[in-house]
A and B are shown apart, each in its own frame.
Chain A
Amino acid sequence: MGIENLWMGFHIAITPFNLWMAVIGILLGTIIGVLPGLGGANGVAILLPVTFTMPPTSAIILLTSIYWGALFGGAITSILFNIPGEPWSVATTFDGYPMARSGRGGQALTGAFSSSFIGAFFSIVLITLFAPLLAEIALRFGPPEIFAIQLLTFSSFVGLGGGNPLKSVVSIMIGFILAAVGLDIVTGQLRLTFGFTELMRGFDFIIAVIGLFGIGEILLSVEEGLSFQGTRTGMNLRVVLDTWKVLPRYWRTFIRSSFIGFWMGFKPGGATPASFMSYAFAKRFSKNADKFGKGELEGVVAPETAAHAAGIAAMLPMMTLGIPGSPTAAVMLGGLIIWGLQPGPLLFKEKPDFVWGLIASMYTGNVIGVLMVLAFVPLFAAILRIPFAILTPLIVVVCAIGSYAVHNSMLDIWYMLIFGVVGYAFKKLDYPLAPFVLALVLGDMAENALRQSLIMSQGTLTIFLTRPIAGVITAAAIFFFIMPIITPWWRRLRGGPPAGAPVINHG
């Protein structure tokens, strides 16, 4: 049954017009992904009007291909510029950028693209096989389960992130506080605006990301007296083939990260926590844990595999339940309605050609994508050879454009500069930036889940422990939160060396 449907889908996806749509989508998506601030969601939204006259299947293939392209493109800026084009490629910068700096940019890019492809492929196979089953599990998730999962994500920063756990907690709190600024959609009250109308619409995480990682990183780089002027990466077929020879060594990381990516990915906002969790786990289990953050290929492989697996998995609830798993999926859902399709479970019965054409196009789109980005890698590597004094103002200008484009607001450009200075100071003082951004993204969702759970339980927190699924997840989260406290004790009990916890900068 499944095989027949997939076969039918391939017949639709492999028509010349649809293949051409995939090529154009990937090319545009990669460019969009490379430009910071103009991410997948923006790019899909801008190109949505172009698709109105197309047949729905070709339209969704174009839009999803932009999305795959943006996923690939995010890795390019993360590695070459240390600017994550998307929040889920933040974790790729930790090791990707040091690799590019030490002249192994080609290896990092090949590793990133290949892992993206493997993560994506894993997710597509799972979508094809288990879509109905997994949708049923996710349907049973209530607010307590959603909040428990968020708790688990943040606890992994504190417990597994390395560095100062107290500062990780503070970073998470600042992110949540900034997310709370503005209108409270539940009660309709204004919060933390102190009478300033400019603060009413709150802080957008895209601005924060551009400022903290874009501007902040430029300030840090000039302070260190290091220029962006890169060494020749020597990117060619040989580097690609040599990297491919090394990659099978990380098969455990591939499997672990693919599972994390898929599991986190079909819930809203999943790709970003998935990439961070995957990075944290890879570091925990790696033999080269001390090399993480300094340019370890495994540190690129882990988040890229998970991010792309999660990015694909985000399509699953959109297709089966009509619930978007990511902002980009939300924009596509809007497209579905405009094309006259009713998203939800009925889509599988009423429009099997659309659904299976989309699933088959995920296979073709990602094969085309990985071949295209690998072929164009010398072009991207050339960006590294641009002199520093040209690149610095160029990045500032592109960051300003990206910040402005989000809400058409000059104030956002000022916020971006302020976030840049904050990012510079925080990074020097070892406050991790990643949990800060993540808390800002997930703030409203976490608060709503907490509120609804408390309403369900009449105000007692035990609801997170008594419901079976939420209970297991909460218990794991509590374990990670107290890990920095129990680890020194545990070491002492075993008579091991004193706790010289490696200080790894997470942001």
Chain B
Amino acid sequence: MRTADIVTASLLMLLGGLVLFDAVRLGFGWGPDGPQSGFFPAWLAIIMIGTCGAILVQAVWNASDKPFVNREQLRSVLAVLWPAVVAVALMHFLGLYVASALYMAFYMRWVGHHSWPIVVVISLGIPIACFVIFELWFLVPMPKGPLEEWLGY
């Protein structure tokens, strides 16, 4: 926990430095018609850097030594995360509906060990239901791929 706390506070301090750098570029003083663009960000950055400094001191002095995440936890978190990342990447090529169907089928079979009939019915049914609700009913367009194009949408 201590290491994670220190790393996070340091990263946020860096972010604050970045914001301050940009605020200085924009000007943080008093312009011809009131405060300049960088005025508000500059103060945000200064408060953030100061507060993160205090958190750093706090973390060094009295943070718990409990690990941030153990191996088992990390594995189950990644098991959700990486298929989601792959699915979003696939959406660029296959469209949202096909990618979602593949993602749901994969997850249900691989993590949930559901039987094939359930996997097929749900992984096809949900994207089709979403298609009806969003594309046809609410007219919200979603990213589409070759399949939708072939079907004429």
Q: With A and B bound together, what is the CA distance between A404 and B35 in angstroms? A: 35
Q: Which of A46, A219, A428, A452 contacts B140 (CB 8 A)?
A: A46
Contact B48 A170 (CB under 8 A): yes
Task: Tell me which of B15, B22, B104, B142 contacts A191 (CB under 8 A).
Answer: B22
Q: Are B88 and A400 in contact (CB under 8 A)?
A: yes
Determine whether A383 belongs to the interface, using a CB cutoff of 8 Å to chain B. no
The one of B5, B87, B141 in contact with A408, judged by C-beta atoms closer than 8 angstroms, is B141
Q: Are B134 and A389 in contact (CB under 8 A)?
A: no
CB-based contact B107/A173 at 8 Å? no
Q: Taking the complex as formed, is A350 at the interface, i.e. its CB lies under 8 A from any CB of chain B?
A: no
Interface assignment of B128: CB less than 8 Å from any CB of chain A: no
B111 touches A192 (CB 8 A): no
* Complex Cα–Cα for A392 and B80 (A): 8
A167: Cβ under 8 A from any B Cβ:
yes
Q: Which of A270-298 contact B (CB under 8 A)?
A: none
Tell whether A388 is near chain B: CB-to-CB under 8 Å.
yes
B35 A451 Cβ-Cβ under 8 A: yes
Residue of A nearest to B107 (CB): A393
Specify which chain B residues have a CB less than 8 angstroms from the CB of A392 in the assembled complex.
Answer: 80, 107, 111
B41, B76, B138, B143: the one within 8 Å of A192 (CB): B41
Mask of B93-130 contacts with A, CB within 8 angstroms, 1/0: 00010001001100110011110000000100011001
CB closest residue in chain B, given A175:
B44
Count contacts between A and B, CB distance < 8 Å.
Answer: 165
B8 near A429 with CB under 8 A, answer yes
A472 at the interface (CB under 8 A from B): no
Q: Nearest-CB distance from B19 to chain A (Å)? A: 6
Q: Is the CB of B51 within 8 A of A450?
A: no
Does residue A136 face the partner (Cβ distance < 8 Å to B)?
Answer: no
* Minimal beta-carbon separation of B34 from chain A (angstroms): 4
| Inter-chain contacts of B147 with A (CB < 8 A) | none
Q: Which of B4, B8, B58, B103 contacts A393 (CB 8 A)?
A: B103
Residues of B in contact (CB 8 Å), total 67
Minimal beta-carbon separation of A407 from chain B (angstroms): 11
A387 in the interface, Cβ–Cβ < 8 Å? Answer: yes
- Cβ of A177: which chain B residues have Cβ within 8 Å of it? 15, 19, 41, 44-45, 48
- Tell me if A390 and B108 are in contact (CB < 8 A): yes
Taking CB atoms, residues of chain A closer than 8 Å to B47 are 169, 173
A192 touches B19 (CB 8 A): yes
Instruction: Decide if B76 touches A225 in the complex (CB within 8 Å).
Output: yes
Interface set, chain A 156-174, CB cutoff 8 A to B: 164, 166-167, 169-170, 173-174
CB distance from B52 to the nearest CB of A (A): 6
Report A-chain residues with C-beta under 8 Å of the C-beta of B107: 389, 392-393
| A397 near B108: Cβ-Cβ < 8 Å | no
Once the chains are docked, how many angstroms separate the CA of A219 from the CA of B83? 13
Which residues in chain A, 366-398, are within 8 Å of chain B measured between CB atoms? Answer: 387-390, 392-394, 396-398
With A218-B80, A390-B112 given, is the CB distance from A413 to B122 under 8 Å?
no
Given the interface pairs A170-B12, A174-B12, the reply to whether A454 lies near B35 with Cβ below 8 Å is yes
In the assembly, what is the distance between CA of A401 and CA of B95, in Å? 11
B residues 1-25 near A (Cβ < 8 Å) are 1, 4-5, 8, 12, 15-16, 18-19, 22
Chain B contacts of A398 at CB under 8 A?
130
For the complex, what is the distance from the CA of A166 to the CA of B15, rounded to whole Å?
17
A455 interfacial by beta-carbon distance below 8 Å: yes
Inter-chain contacts of B58 with A (CB < 8 A): 164, 166
A429 CB contact (under 8 Å) in B4, B18, B113, B127: B4
A180 on interface, CB distance cutoff 8 Å: yes
Find out whether the CB atom of A401 lies under 8 angstroms from the CB atom of B51: no
Residue pair A393, B142 in contact (C-beta under 8 Å) = no
Chain B residues with a Cβ under 8 A of chain A:
1, 4-5, 8, 12, 15-16, 18-19, 22, 26, 30-31, 33-41, 44-45, 47-48, 51-52, 54-55, 58, 68-69, 73, 76-77, 79-81, 83-85, 87-88, 91-92, 96, 100, 103-104, 107-108, 111-114, 122, 126-127, 130, 134, 138-143
Give me the 5 closest cross-chain CB pairs, A-B, nearest first: A389-B112, A173-B48, A455-B34, A393-B107, A393-B104
Interface residues of A (CB under 8 A from B): 38, 46, 164, 166-167, 169-170, 173-174, 176-177, 180, 184, 186-187, 189, 191-192, 194, 215, 218-219, 222-223, 225, 387-390, 392-394, 396-398, 400-401, 404-405, 408, 410, 413-414, 417, 421, 424-425, 428-429, 431, 447, 450-452, 454-455, 459
Q: Known contacts A173-B48, A177-B19; can you find 20 more A-B pairs with CB under 8 A? A: A166-B58, A170-B12, A170-B52, A170-B55, A187-B36, A189-B37, A192-B19, A192-B41, A194-B22, A218-B80, A219-B77, A222-B79, A223-B69, A390-B112, A390-B122, A392-B111, A401-B140, A408-B141, A417-B88, A451-B35
